[in-house]
Structure 1
């Protein structure tokens, strides 16, 4: 439960997010904030975009796609404010474990909506699995030299399984980069499309392509 001071701070953050926004966006922020407040007061702690997208949709708030849209950073900031409040209280309060995917889906009465979010959860699980496969490739050597000054090629002597090769191929595909909201540069660097922050350094794309080619 929020203290009076915490409620005041949350209200101030909400008003700051409303500055310069249209009335429709302000109303949507109010609606989302009410949903988040009720969710918080119930003792819930999972403020992930996927979970809040389902909760919001169920309560006639902004959809998962709306929350994830690049231009709608204000909605994600509002969610992060509530997530930060949970963290600040977790030291003194008993934390309730996040609900499982099936438990979340069972809270959605509409069959079509439940199937829709089940697909989103399945895709999230797939991406996590593929990311874990990538992380397990500890022997991959990323050549960070400028590609225009390289005189020799170095291809790691790796023998990958079909699943591992498929995971690496998908990791550098346009589909994967687009779904994760990334951008790739001519130098093989991957950046976040929203803040232009570096996710993988220069040479990352070229390095993975060499590994893939050596295993084809």
Structure 2
């Protein structure tokens, strides 16, 4: 439903009758077509036949720069757009839905820019969330932080001091390296073997590692010491 009896076609005809240059008449006709397309494409409330919107559309079609619509020389182009806007009728005045703020954020309404107002609200909500988390932490009178390595065993002391066992302090690679040092297969490749007091000897019974070597490693690994003495000593005297 329109509120203007004058059809934009009549406005266009009056402008063309002024005897303009040929290129200007072509631009007036093209702008008239673009407005007609916008009018046909949407319903009354959804149409945007404002000078700002239609001049942007005109620029995208190469007619003229959008900002030129406000110049005195572009008055005829503005008249075409205004004729279509009047023919479309006034837009329905729907009240914009106001954003509701909690009472503590009422002061945000004083910020005119909606984008800045929204950013400020987000920042305040985040601040309040962090303050709540901080207050929760403060309410805890005792916080236990356990930084022991995984698998660590605590040795009991007379002074009730936690002591991390040696094996728990080793990295995986260190643990594997020490186990490999006592591996019979590993030793056999070099023609070495474990003696009955934890030493490592070669094929001539000469010490490679002194007595106690194997037992020390087993203690570090937390293994039974007796297992290091499974390999029988070679019969005969060492040379």
TM-score (norm 1): 0.36
Larger Rg: 2
Name the structure, 1 or 2, with higher relative contact order (CA <8 Å, separation 6+).
1
